[in-house]
Structure 1
Amino acid sequence: DETTRMPELEEFIIDIVKYTGGFIIRKIKNKSNLCGICDLFLTQKETVNESLLLKLKTKGKLINISSDVHKICLAAEYIIRFYSNELLKIKNVKMYLTIKTLNEISTDSTIFNNYEMKQHILNQDPFNNHRRQLIQLIIEPYISLRLNHIAKMHSLSMTGKNVRHKCTKMILFKNQ
């Protein structure tokens, strides 16, 4: 397996990952029935180290994600970029990327590892507790969203620009 450490991401990409993480958290909160304790670990009330992108885009509805959620999303982004050349060759790519991201996160012992979470998962199954479920709930929609974006960009590059939408009267037929 790969023993090399993945390269650092640019600051702009880190800001976009934070912005996308807010969307993922909103999606998780709407779809999943989370317990109250787990729900508190997903968001952050105070805006510490808010990025310029979030300052520009916020109109009061953006969700500030916690640092743990940001670390998980960054790990997923690292994995997606690391395996970007092999995405079309891998079978069951979503599960493959999810497992690789879980392996990457397992080396970081600081994610969801404070006293409240430890007390919360104390009487739960060690292999399928709320900590692991939260991590997986964050990784899977993030990877799905990124894979959809990559597929959309790939299909746009294959088909080219759609001329008929721009010049409907000037160009009636250009095989479109």
Structure 2
Amino acid sequence: MKVKLAVQVFSTSVADALEYCNKDLRLAQFNESDATVDFCRIVDQLFDLFNTRNSLSKNMFKKPMTESRLPFITSFFKEAKSYIVGLKTVEGSQLVLSARKKGFLGLIINMTSFERIVQKYIIEKKYLSYLLTYKVSQDHIETFFCAIRSRGGFNNNPTTLQFEAAYKRLLIHAEISSKATANCLQQDETYILNISSNKQRQITSVIDNLHEVDDNIDDACDEIINVVDQSLYISDIIGYISGFIVRKLNKKINCQICCSALEDNLICYKFLNRKNKGGLIKSSADVFLICRAAENVFRNYEMISSGNVILRLIYLTKKQLKICELFVKLNDHILDQDPLNNHLLQLVNLILKTFFTIRLHHKNMSINETKERIRHKYSKLILFKNQ
């Protein structure tokens, strides 16, 4: 399993989704999910402590390790170790003593190692004022291996000469970066190899925000929809997505009056409230109504290969809407504009275009993930037979 996927599975987002299905939707299939929620949260908090990157972070689990934070770190690590040691298999034996113990023993070893590093190099010898744990992770060497493979057309079994040639080229000519499809992605702007020169080199970030939309739309949605009250479930998810759309549009729209019509903090969206830690946006009822109508059109629309699909979907959705009843706050505002520059129509079009772009992206990703990839399946088999 790829590292970037494992991190998304054992995350707070998954725990929030399980709690939402259990406590808000009250689905029978999730009645006993509390233990899974606890497991996801503990592992996610450990991942955060093992990958601290910013010395100014405000999150308790993403702050760097310092002398003043050692009591908190020690206390949490003690609880986490006790929890991991107490995990049992279906047969009733301890998980850390089973055949699948490596990952859990690795977590315990990491916790013990970081405690001793802080104690020795920060408290006793005063070599460091704080420790950013991401700097000592194996992500950097994995990124380096990815760069080596890319030099040979992503050949995952290079010869000695190929490795030597790729290493020399990277050492002399290039800095290391990883591809979006790699097993491990860079999390900061630290470079393994750097070439000195007389002129100051400008370093640009190579990190892509891959979960901005994926955090809002989980791949498990389609399976859950079959067993829940669709109107309640879809309404909550659309409320969450509509908030994301408002955030996107606020960056594009220059008209403050139009921006103010997009938000309404008084509306209650259950799923958004459960996910919200203070930074999410609540859309107005009109934005939600437009997105809900767009979702109905998208689900009932038969895809065609010719023409602009998004324009077709926008046209069909606008036929279902009573646009004159939307954004009443803008009634006086649009009187000052000429018919071809009507902010109301432009706003509706922007909302629909953003929504359908998100939905088509998610649909395309879902379809591609179901395709069988022969190279991925047989790659190791071929290598082991020396072919």
Deviation of the 1:108 alpha carbon = 5.2
Quote the residue 2:257 is aligned against.
37
Deviations 1:88-116 (A, max 9, x none): 445321111011112222x354211x2x4
Give the distance between the partners of 1:143 and 1:29, measured in 2 at CA: 18
Amino acid at match of 2:307: K
The residue matched to 2:298 in structure 1 has which SS?
helix
What's the offset of the Cα at 1:124? 1.4
Give 2:326's match in structure 1, choosing from 111, 136, 150: 111
Output the amino acid matched with 1:159: E
Matched with 2:380 is: 172
Partner of 1:57: 275
Equivalent AA in structure 2 for residue 101 of structure 1: T
CA RMSD of aligned residues (A): 2.5
Q: CA deviation at 1:163?
A: 6.9
1:17-56 CA distances to partner (integer Å, 9 max, x unpaired)?
11011111111112x133111111000132x3x2321121
Is the deviation greater in 117-126 or in 133-142? 117-126
Distance 1:124 1:20, change over 3 A: same
1:1-176 matched pairs, under 5 angstroms: 9-30=230-251, 32-46=252-266, 48=267, 50-83=268-301, 86-105=302-321, 107=322, 109-112=324-327, 114=328, 116-159=329-372, 172-173=380-381
* Residues 133-166 of structure 1: per-residue CA shift (max 9 Å, x gap): 1111111011011001011111112237x977xx
Q: How many Å apart are 1:10 and its aligned residue? A: 2.1
Instruction: Name the amino acid aligned to 2:355.
Output: Y
The CA distance in 1 between the partners of 2:242 and 2:333, in whole Å, is 24
Distance in 2 between residues matched to 1:58 and 1:129, nearest whole Å? 34
Q: State how many pairs are aligned.
A: 154
For residue 73 of structure 1, what is the amino acid of its counterpart? Answer: C
Percent pairwise identity: 33
How far apart are 1:127 and its partner, in Å? 4.5
Q: Tell me: higher relative CO, structure 1 or 2? Use CA pairs within 8 A at least 6 residues apart.
A: 1
Change beyond 3 A, Cα 1:79–1:90: farther
Say which one has the larger Rg: 2
* Rounded Cα–Cα distance in structure 2 between residues aligned with 1:72 and 1:136: 10
Structure 1 runs (4+) greater than 4 angstroms displaced: none
Runs of 5+ unmatched residues, structure 1 = 1-7, 165-170
Give the counterpart letter for 1:45 in structure 2. Answer: N
Q: For the residues of structure 2 that align with 1:155 and 1:44, how far apart are their CA atoms? A: 36
Which AA in structure 2 matches 1:17? I
Separation in 2, partners of 1:138, 1:174: 49
TM-score, scaled relative to structure 1? 0.77
Could you tell me the TM-score, scaled by structure 2's length? 0.37
Deviates more, 1:52-61 or 1:142-151: 52-61
Q: Which amino acid aligns with 2:256?
A: G
CA shift for structure 1 position 13:
1.1
Q: Supply the AA of the counterpart residue of 1:95.
A: L
Deviation (angstroms), 1:117? 1.2
How far apart, CA to CA, are the structure 2 residues paired with 1:88 and 1:141? 20
CA contact 2:243–2:282 (8 Å) conserved in 1 = yes
Cα distance in 1, alignment partners of residues 289 and 283 from structure 2: 10
- SS of the residue corresponding to residue 28 of structure 1 reads helix
Query: In 2, Cα distance between the equivalents of 1:22 and 1:55?
Result: 11
Partner Cα distance (1:174, 1:15) in 2:
47
Assess if the C-alpha contact under 8 Å between 2:263 and 2:282 holds in 1: yes
